[in-house]
Amino acid sequence: MANGPLFAIIAGEMSGDILGAGLMHALRERYPGARFIGVCGPEMMAAGGESLFPMERLSVMGITEVLPRLPELFRLRRQLVARLLAEQPVACITIDSPDFTLSVAKRLHRRGMRTVHYVSPSVWAWRQGRVKGIKASIDLMLTLLPFEARFYEEHDVPVAFVGHPLADMIPLEVDVAAARAALGLEPGRRVLAVLPGSRGGEVRQLLPDFLAAVQQLRAANPMLQIVIPAATAERHAEISAGLNSTGLTEAVTLVSGQSRIVMAAADVIMMASGTATLEGTLLKKPMVVGYRVGALTYFIARRLVNLDNVALPNLLAQRPCVPELLQDAMTPVALASAVQHWLDNPDEVAALKTEFTRVHEQLKQGASERAAAAVATLLDGGV
């Protein structure tokens, strides 16, 4: 093929967009002129991907929250499957967002298309029976974490542990001074980064309590610098409105994007549970993790999840090393108290940095290149 092979690639949220862009670049190293079509975020589109509809339309949080969106999601799935069957790419690579992406992979796999899923669903944590459906839907699973690969090997699912691209991107030692200079922060003052999530539902659930905690922390630490990165223009508008309503506009630096720089600049991070906590881990930052979903969603989830901890830093360290404040436990007082604890205990911060460095070294594997190599082996007839 003069223009290179065509790959289908589908991501459902911003973390998957980052992974997809790295994999696209690595695949082009192996297949010059490779083309990509599917569902792409800004990073994947910048890498040359053609998105058939905006990735944001797949970003829905919670169980009950998705119900009103089901007709649209089913329609998008039908359109996407039909287009990809017409285009006949050499393989379809689905990235994270398993409820949507694996349902697409299943339909394509039934029609004879090779399918790869990048980022394992948490089948090791809940609903382990799903592994049978996954095995029937994909030719290869690419996992970011070593214990995930072991789970799939035990269930005879073709798998490759590739490490995590973020561990490759982020240096083992972070230049805090450079990050603060890039944001125009005063070097002699302590910094709190606040990340209330990248999706609208997350921000609406978390921002009021996060900002109330900021007010308490500012009262106790008048020199504390607060920085909030907004993931998108929509989140920027929502966060700006929240700052106006709480009188914090002048006290908080609100920036567009740059979440990694903001976290690198911080002494402590207060953040939503999710993939961004992995970045915080790799940046070796003490953090306080908060999350809240609808009451019915939480009721269902607590009966399905077989984990003592849900935050990625605690799962990776295999012990509780950062506070998790979920649902009713996530109050402004609890958030502020947990942040203050980190500010007041430098010895604990140093021990945490040592633990997170160990995790970083384990995940630093050259993930995008390893993932591309695994895909190439599949296309050549191996696993």
**Which of 41, 260, 276, 268 has its CA nearest to residue 170?**
260
pLDDT at residue 327 greater than cutoff 80: yes
Q: Which two tokens stand for residue 370?
A: 């390893």
Task: Tell me how far apart the alpha carbons of residues 297 and 111 are, in angstroms, rounded to a whole number.
Answer: 34
Render pLDDT for 34-54 as a digit per residue (tens, 0 to 9): 999 999 999 999 999 999 999
**Which of 264, 296, 302, 301 has its CA nearest to residue 280?**
264
- Note whether 6-163+365-379 and 176-363 share their fold: yes
Render pLDDT for 270-314 as a digit per residue (tens, 0 to 9): 999 888 899 999 999 999 999 887 666 655 555 555 556 678 899
Q: Please identify, in words, the CATH class of the domain defined by 176-363.
A: alpha beta
Q: How confident is the model at residue 199 (pLDDT cuts 50, 70, 90)?
A: confident
**Which phi and psi angles does 160 have, rounded to 5°?**
-140, 125
Task: Provide the 8-state DSSP code for 305.
Answer: B
pLDDT at residue 1 greater than cutoff 50: no
Task: Tell me how far apart the alpha carbons of residues 42 and 54 are, in angstroms, rounded to a whole number.
Answer: 9
**Which phi and psi angles does 52 have, rounded to 5°?**
-80, -20
- Percent of the chain beyond pLDDT 90? 72
Render pLDDT for 59-85 as a digit per residue (tens, 0 to 9): 765 555 567 778 889 999 999 999 999
**Which of 349, 381, 330, 298 has its CA nearest to residue 209?**
330
Q: Which fold has domain 6-163+365-379?
A: Rossmann fold (3.40.50)
Instruction: Give the SS3 label for residue 370.
Output: helix
Q: How confident is the model at residue 121 (pLDDT cuts 50, 70, 90)?
A: confident
**Which of 96, 92, 80 has its CA nearest to residue 18?**
96
Domain boundaries, the chain: 6-163+365-379, 176-363
Render pLDDT for 220-237 as a digit per residue (tens, 0 to 9): 999 999 999 998 999 999
Given a contact cutoff of 8 angstroms between Cβ atoms, the answer to whether 270 and 210 are in contact is yes
Dihedral over Cα of 44, 45, 48, 53: its sign = positive
Task: Tell me how far apart the alpha carbons of residues 297 and 141 are, in angstroms, rounded to a whole number.
Answer: 28
Task: Tell me how far apart the alpha carbons of residues 342 and 322 are, in angstroms, rounded to a whole number.
Answer: 10
